[in-house]
């Protein structure tokens, strides 16, 4: 049947989940364009700073959507290498293993393969991003009071996908000549979460050495 055909085909297709689009013409779209323009200057420390007069929640929201899309794309290119067989657990090196829980559907953390974990994770993030009460796309609709804590949880979880790719799938990344792309994306992500203190240092431990290497040049 079509749906199982589509499902089996979707694992290796280039993007893993549908891209989350920010509506053109909206203020958030303008912010995204601003972010892309400053990124183009090559100065990532400057690029992550809150633009003058802008709302921090909105800036965090726009960038969170952007990171989701980037990670989605990066992971989408290596799904052929990240299988139930190759990655029976969701890990980031020998010392770090992640178990999935979302607090609503799955309250008690479950041990699952990396592809399954990342599927749960990206689906969960997508649901948050699509929730207009959490991520309002309409002008003048206020962000909820708990927005920052939701954004922090999303970013903390997205970090785990980077950590898994770096630890378990770096060889295919090199073969696909995506190393520079991955490093730039991750560096942008790290500068962003550092700028606004969005991820606890403990959570970043699996990639601590890499973070120091990537950020030391830009002090």
Q: Known binding site for Zn(2+): residues?
A: 82, 87, 164, 169
- The annotated binding site is made up of 82, 87, 164, 169
> CB neighbours (10 Å) of residue 211?
17
What is the C-alpha to C-alpha distance for residues 18 and 16, in angstroms, rounded to an integer? Answer: 7
Map tokens 């990066």 to a residue: 74
What is the C-alpha to C-alpha distance for residues 88 and 149, in angstroms, rounded to an integer? Answer: 30
CA 203 to the chain's CA centroid: 14
The two structure tokens encoding residue 142? 């206020």
Q: Strand (E) positions, 67-186?
A: 90-91, 97-98
Q: Under DSSP, is residue 53 helix (H, G, I), strand (E, B) or coil? A: coil
Among 40, 45, 82, 80, which Cα is nearest to 168's?
Answer: 82
Residues 104/98, Cβ–Cβ less than 8 Å:
no
β-strand partners of 218: none
């Amino acid at each position: 049947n079509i749906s199982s055909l589509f499902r089996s085909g979707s694992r290796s297709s280039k993007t893993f989940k549908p891209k989350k689009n920010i509506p053109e013409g909206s203020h958030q779209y303008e912010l995204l364009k601003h972010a892309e323009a400053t990124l183009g200057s090559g100065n990532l420390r400057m690029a992550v700073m809150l633009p003058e007069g802008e709302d921090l929640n909105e800036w965090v929201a726009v960038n969170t959507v952007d990171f989701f899309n980037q990670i989605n794309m990066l992971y989408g290119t290596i799904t052929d290498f990240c299988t139930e067989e190759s990655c029976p657990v969701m890990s980031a090196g020998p010392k770090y293993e992640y178990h999935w829980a979302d607090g609503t559907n799955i309250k008690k953390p479950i041990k699952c393969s990396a592809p399954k974990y990342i599927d749960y994770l990206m689906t969960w993030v997508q649901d948050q991003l699509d929730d207009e009460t959490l991520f309002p796309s309409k002008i003048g609709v206020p962000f909820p009071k708990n927005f920052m804590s939701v954004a922090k949880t999303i970013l903390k979880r997205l970090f785990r996908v980077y950590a898994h790719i770096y630890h378990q799938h770096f060889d295919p990344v090199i073969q696909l000549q995506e190393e520079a792309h991955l490093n730039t994306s991750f560096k942008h992500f790290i500068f962003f979460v550092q700028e606004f203190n969005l991820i606890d240092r403990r959570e970043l431990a699996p990639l601590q050495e890499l973070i120091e290497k990537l950020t030391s040049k830009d002090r």
